[in-house]
Every structure is written in C-alpha cells, then in structure tokens.
A = this chain, B = another copy of it.
Amino acid sequence: MPRTSEPGRSVSSRLLEVLFAFQPEQNALSLADLVRRTGLPHATVRRLAIELTEAGALARQHDGRFTIGLRLWQLGTLAPLTEELRSKAQPFMEDLYTALRQHVQLAVLEGTDAVVIERLSGPTAPELVSQVGGRLPLHCSGVGKVLLAHGGSELIDQVLSGRLVRHTARTVVDPKTLRDQLAECRRTGTADVRGELTETADSIATRIVDGSGTVVAALSVVVRTGSVKRQAALPSLIASGLGISRLLGWRPGTKVVH
C-alpha cells in the first residue's frame, strides 16, 4: 500500500476518484452513490464533495444529489485538442449538416475508444447512442474503424485480441475480416459501417489528418439505415474532411502515418 505512506497523493487520488465517479449514464449522484462507487468512507466522501461544490467543480441539485458543476465544464473547454479541432471543424460540419440534414459527428481516439467531441443533429435524424463526450467502440462504429485503422499495429493487436462486443447481428467480430476492413480503410481513408452498432443506423466516416500526416480525428455522417445512398453522402464527407485537414496543415501529397 504505497499510497498510505504518501498522504498527499492519497488525498488527491481520492478527490479524483470522487470526480471520475460521474459517468454519462449517471450524472447525478447522492453521497451514498459516491460512497458505493469510490469505496471511500462516508465522512471522507462528504468532506470532498462539499469542498468540490464550494470550488464550483461540483454542483448540488434541489434533491441533494451532486452533479458536475459549470466551472468544471468551463475548465474542460480549455483542453487544446478539442478546442482547436472543434473550432476548425465546426464551420465544415455545419455546412455538411446543411447539405445533408443528417447527424454529423467528430471523434478522437482516447485509449481504446472513440470519444465524440462535436456533434450536429437534426430533429428528423435517428436517435443516436452517442452524445458529445460519449464513447463509441473502435471495432464497430464509423469513426472508430477510421481511428483504429490509423492507430498503429499495437493498438490494432490490442483491440482485436480483446473482447469484440457483438452489438447487433451485423457487428463484425471476426478479427481476420476486421483486419481486412482496416487495411481497406487505410487505403481509402474512409469507413462504411452498416447497422453494426445499432440496427437502425448506418455510418460513413473519413479521417482528419494534420500537417505531419497523423490522423488526429474522424468525421462521420450517421443516417437511418438505407435512407441515404453512400454515393450521395461520401463526396461531401470526404471534401469536408480534407477541408478540416487543410486547416490543420495537411496538404495533398502528405504521407499519412499509420
């Protein structure tokens, strides 16, 4: 137990444990919830939660439950990758949305997931599993396949040798087939995913490349299954992806890093 010999580290770890107990599916937590999720003593959790609330990192609802506070949200907006990418991608995403009237989303790699950092959605587009800040699996989402294909052989080996969850009857979980799809994705720069994550949604995705040729994000259009022809959406998606890449320093001929 090295932590107990370092009281400073111990306290700050606990503080982070309380913060990271908040999750997309449960964003309002009572003290009892926090105790259960962190495994910390009730008195410790109470003191930390109150201190975090005083600092504006947490907020307290009328029912007494804690939530993430506005100051922490503001702090998060300072993350440079998301800030630069989002601001550069946003005009292109809006134009793409105006042209297609379908979900448009931008995601980056975080560990072994794709994290949605921006999304535009029309009132008639299908309900999506993801939301801004939410995670998508790498092996069966459009943005995920693009990010995985360009994430390096170590990441690919790790993901393909791990548990490949079958979300629908159409989810590809055979490692050999997936490797072929990823190789094709590196060749074309795009991924075409049909009903693999949810039965009712198709996704086409393209890579976003910076000046060094590194794939830093993936852009996708998500549509109700069969509602939009791939041929209709793909050229505008690719053009938007290249436009964002140019703003990040990419030029035609830049070799894409795998």
Contacts and interface: CB of A to CB of B under 8 A. Distances in A.
B27 A83 contact: yes
Nearest to A87: B131
Nearest to A19: B75
A15 interface: yes
A20 B122 contact: no
A9 B12 CA distance: 10
B8 A77 contact: no
Interface stretch (A47-55, A136-144, A228-236): A47-55
Interface in A97-133: 97-98, 108, 110, 115, 117, 120-123, 131-133
Contact of A91 (B48, B51, B122): B122
B55 A20 contact: yes
A150 to B, nearest CB: 17
Of the candidates A57, A80, A108, the one having the most CB atoms from chain B within 10 angstroms of its own CB is A80
Interface string A54-79: 01010101000001111111111111
A165 interface: no
A20 B133 CA distance: 21
A81 interface: yes
B75 A79 contact: no
A24 interface: yes
B8 A47 contact: yes
A94 interface: yes
A173 interface: no
A55 B87 contact: no
A75 B76 contact: yes
A84 to B, nearest CB: 10
A77 B71 contact: no
B120 A90 contact: yes
Interface of A: 7-9, 11-16, 19-20, 22-24, 27-28, 44, 47-48, 51-52, 55, 57, 59, 61, 67-83, 86-87, 90-91, 94, 97-98, 108, 110, 115, 117, 120-123, 131-133
Given A11-B11, A74-B110, A83-B131, 14 more contacts: A8-B11, A11-B12, A12-B52, A67-B79, A70-B79, A72-B72, A73-B76, A73-B82, A74-B115, A77-B131, A78-B133, A87-B131, A90-B120, A98-B98
